[in-house]
Amino acid sequence: MDSKKPKHQSIALQRAGDSFRQMKFSFRDPVLMVSIISIFVVVFMFIILPLLTILQESVFDDGKLSITHYFKTVSTPYSRSVIWNTLRLGVSVSIVGTLVAFTFAYAINNLRIPSKKFI
């Protein structure tokens, strides 16, 4: 068998390399760098740090590593039903959302829609 890469794969790799080179040069812009750093700081302060704090509080009990809070949570029938209902809702919303998104993507890609350019 011929071990050459398909033509479309090499074109895709070349485009990815070109995009990376353009991005590399755009980091020289000070406004862009300040914006990117600001976004990382905000994400860290308002998303990552609170999540780590919550995880730390839930895993430690009186300064000792323990998962008693999790056992207390799943030990009551009410909490188990809440968790089960949440998981069922999440799975059903994911399935319905995927079906709706697939339908729209298929329609946009394969059908002649008059106002396709506005979608």
pLDDT tens digits, one per residue of 92-110: 999 999 999 999 898 888 8
What is the rounded average pLDDT of the residues 63-83? 90
Q: What angle do CA 112, 117, 119 make, to 5 degrees?
A: 95
- d(C-alpha 91, C-alpha 96), whole Å: 9
Domain count within the chain: 2
Q: Give the three-class secondary structure for 64.
A: strand
- d(C-alpha 32, C-alpha 118), whole Å: 29
The pTM of this model reads 0.53
Q: Are residues 15 and 68 in the same domain?
A: yes
Side chain identity at residue 86, one-letter code: T
Q: Are residues 61 and 104 in the same domain?
A: no
> Which residues are within 8 A (CB) of 69 and not within 5 positions of it... i.e. 6 or more apart?
58, 59, 61
Q: Are residues 66 and 25 in the same domain?
A: yes
Query: What is the per-residue pLDDT for 103?
Result: 94
Which residues are bridge partners to 61 per DSSP?
Answer: 64
Query: What is the per-residue pLDDT for 62?
Result: 85
Query: What is the per-residue pLDDT for 19?
Result: 67
Domain extent at residue 99 = 77-119
Share of the chain above pLDDT 70, in %: 77
| Residue 3 resides in a domain | no
| Residue 47 resides in a domain | yes
- d(C-alpha 29, C-alpha 50), whole Å: 31
Q: Are residues 24 and 43 in the same domain?
A: yes
Q: Are residues 66 and 85 in the same domain?
A: no
Confidence check: pLDDT of 76 > 80: yes
